[in-house]
C-alpha cells in the first residue's frame, strides 16, 4: 500500500499535472488554430478592452441581470468556484506537499476555514445535482455526463474531508483523495470542465462583439 | 397554454418528401464541417447545461416555462443530436429542428446576455437554419420572400417601376403639404442615401411620406435610389441563405457607392439594420459597413441635437417604448431613442424589463415571415410580452421596428390590450415644427 | 544528496516504528516528537517512539537523523543528538537549509517513501 501511495503521490501526480498542462495548452492551441483556419474573421472582432470589461462584470457576484434573477444559485456557484481554487492552492496539507516536494511555500488557510470551504464545495456539488433533478429546465438538458462531472469534482473534496477528519483508514482515504484529484485534474482539458479554459475566450469574444460592434452591455 | 404542436407547413412537408438519410447526413456534416470552427466547438464544449439562459427567452416564459422552449433546450433538440450522431438524424427530426430554429427562436440574442459564458445560442440557431436551407426545408412563406429577394433584390416582389412609382406618388402627396418638397431620386453626390424595406412601398407608404417630410423640414441633402438595391431588408439572412444575403447587401452598398453618398440612413427597421450593419457586411468581407449606416433612431437624435428639427408640440398621453433587439441589443440606441421620445412625449412610462434587457416581440428573426401556419403558435408564445405591455397601463406604444410592429400588433389583438402602436417617425412627423407646411 | 541518504535510513527506522505502533496504539510523552519550537500546533503531535522505531528499522547510526551540516555540507562522522533539531532548523527555510517543519517531513516521510515502509499519509503520524 505504501508503494502504491508513493507511486500515486509521485509519478502519477506528475503525469496528471502534465496531462492537464499539455492538454490545456493543446486545447487552447487547437481552438486558436481552428479559428485561424476556418474563422479568421473572429480575430478582427476581438477587443481587449471590451473582453476584459465583460469578464470583469461577469466575475462580480450578483452583478449581472441574470445573476440577480438567481441569487442563491449565484452565491453557491461563486462559493463553489472560489472554494475550489482556495483549497487547491492554500490548504495547509497542500502547501506542505509543495514544501516537501519543492522546498517552496506560502501561507496556508486556517484549518477551520479550509474545512468549512471544503464542506461548502461538497455542499455546492450536492446543490448542483439536486438542481438538475428538481428544476425542469435543467433536468431537460441534463444527461449522465453532467452527474459524472459533478461526481468527478466532488470526489476529491469528499475524500479530502475524510482524510482531514481521519474518518476511515488514513492511508486508504488519502490515497483515494490523491487519485480522485489526479483524475479530476487530468480530465479538465478533455471534458466540459474545459469551460475553465474556454470561458475567457467565449466571454471575451462576445464581450467584444457587444461592446465594440453593438455598443451595448452584455450583462 | 397548449402543448407544442408540430405544425404542418407546405414548404417543410414538400422539402421533407425529397429527403434521404444520406442527404441529411451529408448536408449536416458539410455545414458543420466546412462552415463552423472554433466558435461552435467552444460553445458546445463550454456549455455547462446549467439552464440559466431559460429565463431570457420569451418563448420559455410564455409557454409556462416549458423547458423544451428554453434556449439551451432548443440547442438540445437541434445541434447536440446532429453533432452526437454525426449528422445521422431522421427526416422527422429535421422537420422538428426546422420548426424550432426557424419559428421558435427570434435570434434576439437576449439569451446571449444571460449565459455566464456568453455562448451565442442565436448563432447556433442560424447554423440550424443554414442546414435547413440546404435541405430545402425552409417554411414556405419566408422562402417566398427569399425567392423575391433573389429575383427582384427586394423582399416583396416590388417591380422596378412600381418602386419608382410609389416614390413619385408619395412625392405628389407630400407636395400637397409641403409645396416645394422633393423625394430626390438618383441624386449622385448627395450626403444621404435613404433606404427602406420592401414592405414600405408595398403597404406602408405613409412611412416613406413621413421620412421624406422629416428630410425636407430638416433641409437635408438626400436621395433615394431608383434602381434595385433600394431595399435594405434581408430575409435570406434569416433562412440561412448566405449567398443571397451577400448578393442583397452587395447591391445595397454598391447602390450607395454609385450614388457617392456619405452615409446610408435607414428607416425604422430592426432586421434590416442587423443585416446592413452587422451581418451582411461580414458576409461581404467588410469588418464594419463600408459606408456608415445610420439607423432612424440615431438619425432622429442627430437631427434633434443639431437643431434641424424642432419640437412644436408634445404627445400629452403617456407612452411606452419597446426596444427592438436589433437596434438596442444590436447597436445600443436605447438612450438616444429615449431622448427623442422624451422630447416629443410628455410622459414616457418604461416597460419592465427595458433597454437592452427588453423582451422580444416574437416576430423578428424571420419568425413572422414564416406566415399564417405559425401565427397562432407565435402569438401564444409571447404572452410574456403581452403581460409586460399591459403592466405599463399605457395606451400608446412606440416600436421603432417593422417586425416588432407586426408582432406586437398580433399580441395586442390576441390579448386585447387596447394599445396603439406607433413608429417614432410618425410621432416626430406629427409633433415637429413644419415651417413650410400648408 | 547526503542528506537524502541519511533520510533513507531514518525512513527505515520510522517504518519499523509504525509497525510497532500498530500493536501499541497508546503513547506517552516520550513517544512523540519534540514540538516546543513550533509554538501553537496546527496538527496533533506526530507519534514517534524513538527506541522502538530504531529497533524496527535496524538503525544504529545516530547521525542518520541527527546529522551535522556546516556551510551547507554534511560533516562526516559527526552527529548532533545532544542538540534539538530546532537549534539549527529555524521555523522558516534559510537558504538551502530547510525550515523545521520541512526538515521533519523530509526526514520522516522522505525516508518512508524511499523505503516504501512506514507512515506516509498525513493522518498516519498526526493522529487525532
CATH number at residue C88: 3.90.10.10
pLDDT of residue A202: 97
DSSP labels, B198-258: THHHHH-HHHHHHHHHHHHHTT--EEB-SSTT-B---SHHHHT-HHHHHHHHHHHHHHHHH
Q: Decide if B237 is inside a domain.
A: yes
Nearest to B129 by CA among B104, B156, B164, B157: B104
Q: How far is CA A55 from CA A48, A205, B160, B264, B357, in A?
A: 10, 10, 50, 34, 19
pLDDT of residue C12: 52
**Which of C105, C113, C123 has its CB closest to that of A96?**
C105
State mean pLDDT over A141-153: 97
Contacts of A31 in chain B (CB under 8 A): 38, 41-42
Boundary-marking domain end, from B108, B138, B168: B138
Boundary-marking domain end, from B278, B304, B330: B304
**C6 pLDDT band (50/70/90 cuts)?**
low
**C19 pLDDT band (50/70/90 cuts)?**
very low
Q: Are residues B157 and B83 in the same domain?
A: no
Give the number of domains in chain C.
1
Looking at the complex, does the CB of residue B38 fall below 8 Å from at least one CB of chain A?
yes
Looking at the complex, does the CB of residue A134 fall below 8 Å from at least one CB of chain B?
no
Q: For strand B420-422 and strand B192-195, is the pairing parallel, antiparallel, or unpaired? A: unpaired
Sequence-distant (≥ 6) Cβ neighbours of residue B149 within 8 angstroms: B155, B233, B234, B235, B236, B244, B247, B248
Looking at the complex, does the CB of residue C120 fall below 8 Å from at least one CB of chain A?
yes
Q: For strand B319-321 and strand C69-70, is the pairing parallel, antiparallel, or unpaired? A: unpaired
Q: Are residues B251 and B170 in the same domain?
A: yes
**Which of A70, A136, A214 has its CB closest to that of B332?**
A214
The number of residues in chain C equals 128
Residue C16 pLDDT > 70: no
pLDDT of residue C119: 93
Sequence-distant (≥ 6) Cβ neighbours of residue B27 within 8 angstroms: B87, B131, B134, B135
Domain extent, residue C15, equals 2-125
Residue C21 pLDDT > 50: no
> C-alpha grid cell for residue C32?
512523540
Contacts of C122 in chain A (CB under 8 A): 93, 96, 163, 170, 174
More confident residue, A22 or A101: A22
Looking at the complex, does the CB of residue B373 fall below 8 Å from at least one CB of chain A?
no
Q: Decide if B144 is inside a domain.
A: no
- Tell me if A212 sits within 8 A of A50, measured CB to CB: yes
pLDDT of residue B212: 97
Nearest to B211 by CA among B198, B226, B194, B228: B194
According to DSSP, residue C70 is labeled E
Q: For strand B396-398 and strand B420-422, is the pairing parallel, antiparallel, or unpaired? A: parallel
- Tell me if A72 sits within 8 A of A127, measured CB to CB: no
| B6: three-class secondary structure by DSSP | coil
- Tell me if B381 sits within 8 A of B58, measured CB to CB: yes
pLDDT of residue C71: 86
> C-alpha grid cell for residue B136?
430545402
How many CB atoms are closer than 10 A to CB B316?
Answer: 9
How many CB atoms are closer than 10 A to CB B43?
Answer: 24
| B398: three-class secondary structure by DSSP | strand
**Which of C106, C124, C128 has its CB closest to that of A100?**
C106
**Cα separation of C80 and A26, whole Å?**
52
Q: Are residues B292 and B314 in the same domain?
A: no
**Which of C101, C117, C123 has its CB closest to that of A163?**
C123
Tell if the CB–CB gap between A140 and B330 is shorter than 8 Å.
Answer: no
Q: Are residues B58 and B107 in the same domain?
A: yes
Regarding chains B and C, contact by 3 or more CB pairs under 8 A is answered as no
**Cα separation of A197 and A179, whole Å?**
22
Q: Decide if B61 is inside a domain.
A: yes
Q: Are residues B271 and B317 in the same domain?
A: no
pLDDT of residue A171: 95
Sequence-distant (≥ 6) Cβ neighbours of residue B166 within 8 angstroms: B158, B201, B205, B208
The DSSP bridge partners found for residue C97 are C94
A111-134 vs A144-165: helix crossing angle, rounded to 10? 160
Which of A102, A115, A170, A172 is the best substitution to test chain C (most C C-beta atoms within 10 A)? A170
Q: Are residues B296 and B340 in the same domain?
A: no
Tell if the CB–CB gap between A2 and C120 is shorter than 8 Å.
Answer: yes
**What is the phi/psi pair of residue A195, to 5°?**
-60, -25
How many CB atoms are closer than 10 A to CB C76?
Answer: 9
pLDDT of residue C5: 53
**Cα separation of B397 and B318, whole Å?**
9
Looking at the complex, does the CB of residue A135 fall below 8 Å from at least one CB of chain B?
yes
pLDDT of residue C2: 47
Q: Are residues B393 and B281 in the same domain?
A: no
Residue C28 pLDDT > 50: no
**Cα separation of B341 and B321, whole Å?**
8
Domain extent, residue B78, equals 10-138
Residue C30 pLDDT > 70: no
Chains touching B, CB cut-off 8 Å, 3+ pairs: A
Q: Are residues B294 and B339 in the same domain?
A: no
Q: What is the pLDDT along chain B (438 residues), one digit of tens a residue?
A: 568 999 999 999 999 999 999 999 999 999 999 999 999 999 999 999 999 999 999 999 999 999 999 999 999 999 999 999 999 999 999 999 999 999 999 999 999 999 999 999 999 999 999 999 999 999 999 999 999 999 999 999 999 999 999 999 999 999 999 999 999 999 999 999 999 999 999 999 999 999 999 999 999 999 999 999 999 999 999 999 999 999 999 999 999 999 999 999 999 999 999 999 999 999 999 999 999 999 999 999 999 999 999 999 999 999 999 999 999 999 999 999 999 999 999 999 999 999 999 999 999 999 999 999 999 999 999 999 999 999 999 999 999 999 999 999 999 999 999 999 999 999 999 999 999 888
The full set of domains in chain A, from first to last, is 2-213 (1.20.950)
Q: Decide if B4 is inside a domain.
A: no
A165-211 pLDDT, tens digit per residue, is: 999 999 999 999 999 999 999 999 999 999 999 999 999 999 999 99
**C31 pLDDT band (50/70/90 cuts)?**
confident
How many CB atoms are closer than 10 A to CB B7?
Answer: 16
Q: Decide if B143 is inside a domain.
A: no
Q: Decide if B145 is inside a domain.
A: no
- The CATH number for B67's domain is 1.10.1060
Q: Are residues B282 and B331 in the same domain?
A: no
State mean pLDDT over C89-116: 91
pLDDT of residue A162: 97
DSSP labels, B56-93: G-HHHHHTTT-GGGSHHHHHHTTHHHHHHTTT---HHH
Count Cβ–Cβ pairs < 8 Å, chain A vs chain C: 60
Q: Decide if B436 is inside a domain.
A: no
Q: Are residues B286 and B157 in the same domain?
A: yes
How many Å lie between the alpha carbon of A70 and the closest alpha carbon of chain B?
8
pLDDT cut 70: percent of chain A above it: 100
Q: Decide if B283 is inside a domain.
A: yes
How many CB atoms are closer than 10 A to CB B338?
Answer: 18
Q: Are residues B243 and B269 in the same domain?
A: yes
Q: Are residues B56 and B158 in the same domain?
A: no
pLDDT of residue C95: 87
Residue A128 pLDDT > 50: yes
Task: Provide the CB-side half-sphere exposure for B284 (13 A, CA).
Answer: 23
The DSSP bridge partners found for residue B294 are B265
- The CATH number for B244's domain is 3.40.50
Boundary-marking domain end, from B304, B329, B347: B304
Give the number of domains in chain B.
3
According to DSSP, residue B357 is labeled G
**Cα separation of B42 and C39, whole Å?**
52
Amino acid at each position: 500500500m505504501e508503494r502504491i501511495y508513493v507511486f500515486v503521490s509521485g509519478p502519477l501526480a506528475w503525469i496528471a499535472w502534465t496531462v492537464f498542462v499539455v492538454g490545456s495548452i493543446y486545447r487552447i492551441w487547437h481552438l486558436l488554430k481552428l479559428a485561424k483556419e476556418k474563422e479568421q474573421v473572429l480575430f478582427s472582432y476581438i477587443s481587449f478592452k471590451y473582453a476584459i470589461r465583460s469578464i470583469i462584470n461577469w466575475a462580480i457576484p450578483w452583478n449581472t441581470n441574470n445573476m440577480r434573477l438567481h441569487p442563491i444559485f449565484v452565491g453557491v456557484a461563486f462559493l463553489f468556484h472560489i472554494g475550489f481554487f482556495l483549497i487547491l492552492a492554500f490548504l495547509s496539507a497542500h502547501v506542505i506537499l509543495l514544501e516537501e516536494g519543492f522546498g517552496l511555500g506560502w501561507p496556508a488557510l486556517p484549518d477551520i476555514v479550509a474545512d468549512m470551504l471544503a464542506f461548502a464545495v461538497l455542499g455546492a456539488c450536492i446543490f448542483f445535482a439536486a438542481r438538475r433533478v428538481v428544476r425542469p429546465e435543467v433536468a431537460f438538458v441534463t444527461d449522465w455526463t453532467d452527474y459524472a462531472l459533478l461526481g468527478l469534482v466532488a470526489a476529491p473534496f469528499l475524500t479530502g474531508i475524510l482524510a482531514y477528519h481521519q474518518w476511515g483508514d488514513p492511508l486508504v482515504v488519502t490515497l483515494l483523495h490523491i487519485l480522485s484529484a489526479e483524475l479530476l485534474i487530468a480530465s479538465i482539458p478533455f471534458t466540459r470542465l474545459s469551460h475553465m479554459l474556454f470561458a475567457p475566450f467565449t466571454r471575451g469574444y462576445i464581450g467584444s462583439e457587444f461592446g465594440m460592434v453593438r455598443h451595448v452591455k452584455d450583462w | 397554454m397548449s402543448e407544442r404542436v408540430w405544425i404542418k407547413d407546405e414548404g417543410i412537408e414538400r422539402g421533407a418528401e425529397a429527403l434521404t438519410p444520406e442527404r441529411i447526413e451529408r448536408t449536416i456534416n458539410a455545414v458543420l464541417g466546412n462552415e463552423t470552427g472554433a466558435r461552435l466547438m467552444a460553445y458546445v464544449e463550454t456549455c455547462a447545461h446549467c439552464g440559466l439562459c431559460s429565463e431570457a427567452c420569451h418563448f420559455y416564459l410564455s409557454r409556462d416555462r416549458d423547458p423544451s422552449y428554453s434556449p439551451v433546450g432548443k440547442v438540445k433538440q437541434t445541434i447536440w443530436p446532429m453533432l452526437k450522431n454525426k449528422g445521422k438524424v431522421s427526416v422527422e427530426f429535421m422537420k422538428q429542428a426546422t420548426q424550432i430554429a426557424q419559428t421558435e427562436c427570434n435570434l434576439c440574442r437576449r439569451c446571449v446576455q444571460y449565459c455566464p459564458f456568453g455562448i451565442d445560442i442565436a448563432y447556433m440557431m442560424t447554423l440550424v437554419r443554414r442546414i435547413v436551407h440546404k435541405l430545402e426545408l425552409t417554411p414556405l412563406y419566408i422562402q417566398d420572400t427569399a425567392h423575391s429577394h433573389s429575383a427582384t433584390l427586394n423582399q416583396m416582389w416590388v417591380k422596378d417601376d412600381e418602386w419608382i412609382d410609389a416614390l413619385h406618388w408619395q412625392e405628389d402627396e407630400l407636395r400637397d403639404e409641403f409645396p416645394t418638397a422633393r423625394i430626390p431620386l438618383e441624386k449622385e453626390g448627395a450626403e444621404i442615401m435613404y433606404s427602406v424595406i420592401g414592405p414600405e412601398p408595398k403597404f406602408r407608404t405613409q412611412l416613406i411620406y413621413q421620412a421624406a417630410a422629416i428630410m425636407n423640414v430638416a433641409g437635408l441633402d438626400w436621395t433615394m435610389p431608383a434602381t434595385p438595391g433600394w431595399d435594405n431588408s434581408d430575409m435570406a439572412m434569416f433562412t440561412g441563405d448566405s449567398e443571397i444575403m451577400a448578393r442583397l447587401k452587395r447591391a445595397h452598398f454598391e447602390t450607395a457607392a454609385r450614388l457617392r453618398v456619405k452615409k446610408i440612413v435607414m428607416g425604422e427597421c430592426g432586421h434590416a439594420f442587423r443585416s446592413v450593419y452587422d451581418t451582411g457586411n461580414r458576409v461581404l468581407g467588410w469588418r464594419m459597413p463600408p459606408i456608415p449606416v445610420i439607423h432612424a433612431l440615431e438619425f432622429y437624435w442627430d437631427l434633434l441635437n443639431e437643431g434641424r428639427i424642432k419640437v412644436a408640440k408634445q404627445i400629452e398621453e403617456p407612452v411606452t417604448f419597446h426596444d427592438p433587439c436589433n437596434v438596442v441589443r444590436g447597436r445600443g440606441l436605447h438612450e438616444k431613442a429615449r431622448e427623442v421620445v422624451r422630447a416629443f412625449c410628455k410622459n414616457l412610462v418604461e416597460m419592465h424589463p427595458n433597454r437592452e434587457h427588453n423582451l422580444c416581440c416574437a416576430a423578428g428573426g424571420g419568425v413572422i415571415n414564416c406566415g399564417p401556419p405559425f401565427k397562432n403558435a407565435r402569438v401564444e408564445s409571447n404572452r410574456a410580452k403581452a403581460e409586460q405591455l399591459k403592466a405599463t397601463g399605457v395606451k400608446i406604444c412606440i416600436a421603432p421596428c417593422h417586425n416588432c410592429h407586426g408582432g406586437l400588433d398580433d399580441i395586442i389583438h390576441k390579448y386585447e390590450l387596447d394599445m396603439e402602436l406607433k413608429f417614432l417617425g410618425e410621432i416626430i412627423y406629427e409633433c415637429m415644427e413644419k415651417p413650410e407646411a400648408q | 544528496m547526503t542528506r537524502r541518504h541519511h533520510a533513507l535510513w531514518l525512513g527505515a527506522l520510522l517504518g519499523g516504528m509504525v509497525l510497532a505502533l500498530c500493536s501499541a496504539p497508546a503513547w506517552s510523552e516520550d513517544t512523540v516528537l519534540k514540538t516546543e519550537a513550533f509554538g501553537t500546533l496546527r496538527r496533533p503531535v506526530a507519534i514517534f517512539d524513538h527506541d522502538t522505531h530504531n529497533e524496527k528499522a535496524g538503525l544504529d547510526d545516530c547521525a542518520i537523523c541527527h546529522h551535522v551540516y556546516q556551510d551547507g555540507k554534511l560533516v562526516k562522522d559527526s552527529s548532533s543528538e545532544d542538540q534539538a533539531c530546532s537549534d539549527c532548523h529555524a521555523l522558516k527555510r534559510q537558504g538551502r537549509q530547510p525550515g523545521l517543519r520541512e526538515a521533519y517531513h523530509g526526514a520522516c516521510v522522505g525516508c518512508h517513501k524511499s523505503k516504501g515502509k512506514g507512515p506516509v499519509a498525513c493522518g498516519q503520524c498526526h493522529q487525532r
